[in-house]
Amino acid sequence: AKKLGEQAAYSAIHHYIKRVSVWSGLAALVLLIGLLSIGEQIGLRAPIIIVLIVLIDYLAYITETSRAAMQALHQFVRLGLYTLSWMAFRFLLAIAGLWLYGSVSVGLLGVALSAIVVFPFFYAWLKKQTKGVQAPVELELPKFRKILPVALGYSAFVVISYQDILLAYFVLSQSDLGIYTASTILPKGIIVLTLSVMQVVFPVMVGQQHSAELRAGLIARSTIITVGAAIIASGMLIASSGLVCSGTLGIRHCQTDLISTMALAVIPLCIVRLLIMIQFARSKDWTPFLLLAPPTLAYVAYSYVYTSGVQQLATEFTMFSYLLLAYCCGLLMLQSNPARQLVILISRNK
């Protein structure tokens, strides 16, 4: 933003947002057609879920792009308010859909609507800043070969986080599927909750203007905060699981034992995400994908063949999450000792 000049930077980002919205929309449409075609061939019972998931991904991508734009423009107060509003609407609309209609699809629709509510305010503000600019300013985009490993690596983590829900469509009956999806939607929210920590510290982790000591200390503190937030949120969810699944405002079809099991599963996943973001910050862009792909494929193959019940699926996913964390830490220590260094940094910053 500083290189372009303030008004030109706003214009460049405004033009970029429009391009991203169009091209990502076309990509989402192609993906939706492909997934619906596969769904028909394998007899997928709820195509509306596929539509909603693709819609959520598209809207989340646009919203995250707008968040990145505010971060680049150093609009940190607006960024905080924008993020808080988005997450608040996401939570409230999803829970309202589940409680009022008892349907996972309505809950997912609420998640999608949250982005539709907040994004127009950002776009109107951004467009207002470009008044007086005669011609749109083009941003210099990164090369595809630089984007690919990062996209693959982070996509692998997203797949890992939600692969149990996708597997549920293939290995569970219709009634068990409703129980499992209703019982996992809140535990998965813990992953989103801890994401905000990384979104704040990641720019500092990659910034060359900051000293190595500052970045190392920040990594240590963000690890403590991430782990602490995940444990506290999981503990609160386990403690309130009876209230969540019963009573007038309880989520229909959810089970307390499943919520408790899944709440434990997300703790190591939050740490795994931190480890892969550290690799990105160190310009080891291919490491996350090469690290995550083999165990993910092995877990999917095993679960598809041997898993048959909701509790079995939840238990195996939880075991996989902890084994994945141990696997990542072990290989990273063998590679360059980052996990060992992380433990030392945490101990120094306590």
Residue that has been written with the tokens 């509790």 in this structure? 311
Could you tell me the two tokens for 57? 């991904």
Half-sphere CA count of 23, side-chain side, radius 13 A: 6
pLDDT exceeds cutoff 50 at 43? yes
pLDDT band of residue 2 (cuts 50, 70, 90) is very low
- Give the burial class of 248: count Cβ atoms within 10 A of its Cβ; 0-12 exposed, 13-18 middle, 19 or more buried: exposed
**Nearest C-alpha neighbor of 343 from the set 168, 170, 216, 242:** 216
Q: What is the pLDDT of residue 235?
A: 92
pLDDT exceeds cutoff 70 at 175? yes
pLDDT digits (tens, 9 = 90+) for 225-239: 888 888 998 999 898
Alpha-carbon distance 42 to 79, whole Å? 42
Torsion angle of alpha carbons 155, 116, 234, 277, nearest 10°? 30
- Stronger pLDDT, 184 or 8, i.e. the higher one: 184
pLDDT exceeds cutoff 60 at 261? yes
pLDDT exceeds cutoff 50 at 336? yes
The stretch 6-30 carries a mean pLDDT of 83
Could you tell me the two tokens for 347? 């101990």
Q: What is the pLDDT of residue 320?
A: 96
The stretch 289-298 carries a mean pLDDT of 92
pLDDT exceeds cutoff 80 at 319? yes
Q: What is the pLDDT of residue 282?
A: 79
